[in-house]
Amino acid sequence: MRVIISGASGRMGRMLVKATDALEGAELVGACDRVGASLIGADAGNLAGIGALGVSLTDDLNDLPEADVLIDFTSPEGCLEHAAFVAGRGMAMVIGTTGFDPEQMATLKRTLADSPVVMAANYSVGVNLALNLIQQAAQVLAADYDAEIFEAHHKHKVDAPSGTALAMGRALAAGRNVDLMDAAVFSREGITGAREEGKIGFSVVRGGNIVGEHKAMFISDEERIEINHVASDRLVFAKGALRAADWLSQQKQGWYDMQDVLGLNV
């Protein structure tokens, strides 16, 4: 499997280079980043701290060689550019980027309509299992269990709540057979009034170098059930993304998520 990593000088990009190099059968053939980024020309392996791989970071997509899959953890704008590149070359794409607005999302889906794609807000196997457990819990625990979702991330994260917190909200809402957007409460301030039954509340912390923490809580007058996930190393997302790329190489055109990759099918 020939792999291109976009955003290869970013926090996740470097992990993806490392995970690609570590996976048997995968080969890093290209690495790109934002036009004019300061590290253009550097060896992607050196940036990832694993020694030179002979793949230089480019900011010109035309410099990239043929590949089977492009893995993108960049920004919505970057991802859209990389999607157009992928679609024009009949490649597959694994998307980890979050923070798309509805219009960007629609453009992304249109652009990749004929490509095999995995897109997931979180590539950790543990988080995907947690999503499955949350849906099950929501089926069993009726709306008299107040549902709350908490997430915490490092201070550089630009979107909130995290894509994973929203995915947890959707799993919870699906278990209750409601629409998340009808049930969600994204902020509370001032005289909010008492909690309304059936709502799904979100709370967010940003600080330091927290890799990612997510917790779904089901709270009744008598007990509290918590489904909690803590990521301690970004490599967990990169390994999951490589697993998705490997799985995708056997799939036809279509839009998949990590539940499909893991056979969990929430």
Task: Give the residue, chosen from 3, 4, 5, 13, that forms a contact with ligand NAD under the rule CB under 6 A.
Answer: 13
Long-range contacts of 222-231 (CB under 8 A, 24+ apart): 225/137, 225/141, 225/145, 227/130, 227/133, 227/134, 227/137, 228/130, 229/124, 229/126, 229/127, 229/130, 231/124, 231/126, 231/127
The tokens of 173 are what?
Answer: 């809402």
Q: Is 154 a catalytic residue?
A: no
Is the CB of residue 116 less than 8 Å from the CB of residue 251?
A: yes
For ligand NAD, the closer CB: 81 or 148: 81
Task: Give the residue, chosen from 4, 31, 33, 115, that forms a contact with ligand NAD under the rule CB under 6 A.
Answer: 33
Stretch of 6-14, 176-184, 195-203, 222-230 lying at the interface with ligand NAD (CB under 6 A): 6-14
User: Least distance (Å) from ligand NAD to the CB of residue 75?
Assistant: 4
Backbone angles phi, psi at 72, to 5 degrees: -120, 115
Task: Give the residue, chosen from 3, 4, 10, 176, that forms a contact with ligand NAD under the rule CB under 6 A.
Answer: 10
Q: Which of 109, 154, 157, 199 is catalytic?
A: 157
User: Least distance (Å) from ligand NAD to the CB of residue 199?
Assistant: 26
Stretch of 8-16, 105-113, 197-205, 221-229 lying at the interface with ligand NAD (CB under 6 A): 8-16
The tokens of 57 are what?
Answer: 């970071």
User: Burial level of 97, CB count in 10 A (0-12/13-18/19+)?
Assistant: buried
Does residue 121 sit in helix, strand or coil? coil
Task: Give the residue, chosen from 30, 45, 96, 116, that forms a contact with ligand NAD under the rule CB under 6 A.
Answer: 96
What would the x/- binding string for ligand NAD be over residues 54 to 93, using CB under 6 A?
-------------------xxx-xx--x------------
9 binds ligand NAD (CB under 6 A): yes
Q: Is 156 a catalytic residue?
A: no
What would the x/- binding string for ligand NAD be over residues 109 to 128, using CB under 6 A?
-----------xxxx-----
259 binds ligand NAD (CB under 6 A): no
Does residue 229 sit in helix, strand or coil? strand
Q: Strand pairing partners for 217?
A: 148, 226
Stretch of 42-50, 94-102, 219-227, 249-257 lying at the interface with ligand NAD (CB under 6 A): 94-102
Q: Which of 18, 82, 109, 153 is catalytic?
A: 153
Rounded-to-integer distance, Cα 4 and Cα 95, Å: 12
- Residues in Cβ contact with 43 at an 8 Å cutoff, skipping those fewer than 6 apart: 52, 53, 54, 55, 56, 57
Side chain identity at residue 218, one-letter code? F
Does residue 137 sit in helix, strand or coil? helix
Where in the sequence numbering do the catalytic residues fall? 153, 157
Provide the binding-site residues for ligand NAD, judged by CB under 6 A.
6-7, 9-13, 33-34, 37, 73-75, 77-78, 81, 96-99, 120-123, 237
